Chain A
Amino acid sequence: MNNDPIISIRGVSKTYAGGFQALKNINLDIKRGEIFALLGANGAGKTTLIGVICGIVNASAGTIIADGHDTVRDYRAVRAAIGLVPQELHTDAFESVWATVSFSRGLFGKPPNPAYVEKVLRDLSLWDKRDAKIMSLSGGMKRRVLIAKALAHEPTILFLDEPSAGVDVELRHDMWRMVRELRANGTTIILTTHYIEEAEDMADRIGVINKGELIIVEDKAVLMRKLGKKQLMLTLRQPMSEIPSELGAWALTLTEDGERLVYSFDTQEEETGIAVLLRRLSEHGIDFKDLSSSESSLEDIFVSLVHQSQGTQS
């Protein structure tokens, strides 16, 4: 297996004609065969970055190598390898499902292959709708059509721009099953989302983009470990009005009703201090009836990252 990155982005910036800088000096490598999730709020630059890689938007600066080819000089080779599912449901209303998927295959330079198109349509539960006009389909079905179009030319890199937007649970599950299958067959998948649980569930690596800057790129597990906070929650037998001063050494908070003590700690630290804290509590006669711990979700991490980066800017 080739260990070179399948996509290598160097110093890419994009300033739109109106002066808005959507991307600022982006450097990113996408590994072959991974699922990479690009997280960011609306307007953070996710779609622009995808657009630049796929050839929809011209970059103002920087270079991108995809599948071994420069995306500008060797655009044919690059684009033949890439499939793109756009965020918006852009479809040709009057075309049939079969016609539009076959069109995509041809447009991307592949000879007709009805058996393959049939397989794609069957995989996406579109086979029964193959002769239906696209405008007669529901939003979820249109999303499937867009995925079928993107897969029609057998791409090795698949971009999914906000694939879960406006999609029901069933389709979402179908879609993720399909994404996993594609990955198992060696397809590299880059998805953007603001559903963090999706990234948490699916991705191997995660990049966070904020105001056009890539603020972190990390293995999902590492990111969770590195930035994850754990909380220990103690439900007290006797409510207390304030935290005793003897416990000032720990980062403790008391819930408003005085019934629970919350201790936040960093999972990375050698000494979490839990054992000592529990001993100290019993020394002071503070008894508790329940104890639970929780890990921060990717969502918490994301929010704190975005806040940090805004903090450093201002």
Chain B
Amino acid sequence: MNIYGIRAIYRFEMARTFRTLAQSIAAPVLTTSLYFIVFGKAIGSRMGDIDSVSYGAFIIPGLVMLNLLNESISNASFGIYMPKWAGTIYELLSAPVSWIEVLLGYVGAAATKSVLLGLLILGTARLFVPYEIAHPLWMIGFLLLTAVTFSLFGFIIGLWADSFQKLQVVPMLVVTPLTFLGGAFYSINMLPPLWQKVTLFNPVVYLISGFRWSFYGMADVDVAMSIGMTFGFLTVCLIFVWWVFKTGYKIRN
């Protein structure tokens, strides 16, 4: 195991984050604050509780997930796309590092940043809405698992993209809609029966539901199902990255 190699990549990526601290941290915190003011306070005050949880508190797990997914994907996809774009990837390709080590460095750094950001948003939320976390360890577990899985997904997007447009297209056209329709702002039980079924094809539903369960002990789908689906997606992403490095897809050909 090339520990020094992993450490070099990880530090490089974290340094990149800290160079752009303002936009990395300030932007998501500001956006979340706006959500709380608009949905939590202005609109939320006119809405009834959902399963005896106030609407303001109900949306917290969803909002954290929304940011976690976006940040994980954008950090990781940017992290690997930049060397491709700037040409500095030659060094990574000629270095004695395995694909696992490359992932630990890039995905590890992206996930670290998203988890920190997730916690920061939870802290920000506390300023607007009182809430309690029923299962803090599970909450951290979901946070980590989701951050790692979607950083991995972002890494794949970064490998696949050959333009800045492509880098944006998946997060914008796929991930954001799936997150909004994944129950960030509502319980899927509020949907008509047909849409309740359709929505089960949306992987984000499982993430948000599981995460919300760790806060309030209530879930749209079974918690075991949530964990299983996330691990499933993680496995699919891992296999894909393994295949990319094995065949050299797009990067070594």
Q: Which A residues contact B (CB, under 8 angstroms)? A: 16-17, 54-58, 75-80, 82, 84, 86, 88, 90-95, 99, 102-112, 149
10 tightest A-B contacts by CB?
Answer: A106-B8, A90-B87, A79-B96, A76-B96, A54-B94, A58-B248, A106-B4, A109-B2, A56-B93, A107-B8
Q: Determine the distance from Cα of A247 to Cα of B182 in the docked complex, in whole angstroms.
A: 96
Q: Are A107 and B92 in contact (CB under 8 A)?
A: yes
**CA of A276 to CA of B137 in the docked complex: distance in angstroms?**
100
Q: Please give, as numbers and ranges, the residues of chain A lying within 8 Å of B253 by CB-CB distance.
A: 16-17, 57-58
Selected A-B contacts with CB under 8 Å, 6 pairs: A17-B253, A58-B252, A84-B94, A103-B11, A105-B8, A106-B11
B19 at the interface (CB under 8 A from A): yes
Contact of A84 among B4, B16, B90, B97 (CB under 8 A): B90
Asked if residues B86 and A107 are in contact (CB atoms below 8 Å), the reply is no
Q: Does B195 sit at the interface, judged by CB under 8 A? A: no
Shortest Cβ gap from A268 to chain B (Å): 42
A-B contacts at CB below 8 angstroms, number = 84
**Bound-state Cα–Cα, A78 to B94, Å:** 10
Q: Are A107 and B95 in contact (CB under 8 A)?
A: yes
| Interface residue B88 (Cβ < 8 Å from any Cβ of A) | yes
Measured in the bound complex, the distance between the Cα atoms of B88 and A88 in whole Å is: 10
Per-residue CB proximity of B89-109 to A under 8 Å, as 1/0? 011111111100000000000
Give chain B's interface residues, CB within 8 Å of chain A.
2, 4-5, 7-9, 11-12, 15-16, 19, 86-88, 90-98, 248, 252-253
The answer to whether A80 and B96 have CB atoms under 8 Å apart is yes
B90 near A56 (CB under 8 angstroms)?
Answer: yes
A58 CA to B253 CA, complexed, in Å:
6
The answer on a CB contact under 8 Å between A90 and B90 is: yes
> Is B87's CB under 8 angstroms from A88's CB?
yes
Q: CA separation between A23 and B225, bound complex, in Å?
A: 52
Compute how far the CA of A244 lies from the CA of B19 in the bound complex, rounded to whole angstroms.
Answer: 80
* A96 and chain B: residue at smallest CB distance: B15
* A76 and B2 contacting across the interface, CB-CB below 8 Å: yes
Other-chain residue from A17, A75, A90 in contact with B88 (beta carbon distance below 8 A):
A90
Given contacts A109-B5, A109-B95, A110-B4, 9 further A-B contacts (CB under 8 A): A58-B252, A86-B87, A90-B86, A90-B88, A90-B90, A92-B12, A94-B19, A106-B4, A111-B4
On chain B, the residues within 8 Å of A106 by CB distance are 4-5, 7-8, 11
Q: A56-B90, A57-B252, A107-B91 are in contact. Are A75 and B12 (CB under 8 A)?
A: no
Max chain B C-beta neighbours (<10 A), residue from A91, A104, A106, A107: A107
Chain A residues whose C-beta falls within 8 Å of the C-beta of B95 in the assembled complex: 79, 107-109
Q: Which residue of B lies closest to A53 (CB)?
A: B94
- In the assembled complex, the Cα of A112 lies from the Cα of B88 at a distance in Å of 21
* Cβ B12 vs Cβ A103 within 8 A: yes
A169 to B: closest C-beta gap in Å: 26
Q: How far is the CA of A109 from the CA of B253 in the complex (A)?
A: 25
Complex: how many Å from CA A76 to CA B8?
16
Contacts of A111 in B (CB 8 A): 4
* Cα distance A105–B88 in the bound complex, in angstroms: 15
Cα–Cα distance between A43 and B137 once the two chains are bound (Å): 58
- Contact among A58, A78, A93, A99 with B86 in the assembled complex (CB-CB below 8 Å): A93
Contact among B5, B16, B19, B98 with A108 in the assembled complex (CB-CB below 8 Å)? B5
Distance in angstroms between the alpha carbons of A57 and B93 in the assembled complex: 9
Q: How far does the alpha carbon of A108 sit from the alpha carbon of B93 in the complex, in Å?
A: 11
Q: Which residues of B contact A58 (CB under 8 A)?
A: 248, 252-253
Which A residues are in CB contact (< 8 Å) with B96? Answer: 75-80, 108-109
Contact partners of B5 in chain A: CB under 8 A: 106-109
A57-B252, A58-B252, A94-B19 known; A104 vs B91 contact (CB < 8 Å): yes
* B95 nearest CB neighbor, chain A only: A107
Q: Which residues of A contact B97 (CB under 8 A)?
A: 107, 109
A91 and B94: CB pair below 8 A?
A: no
Bound: A16/B86 CA distance, A = 21
Q: What residues on B are CB-neighbors of A92 within 8 Å?
A: 12, 86, 88
Residues on B with beta carbons closer than 8 Å to the beta carbon of A110: 4
| B19 contact set on A, CB distance < 8 A | 94
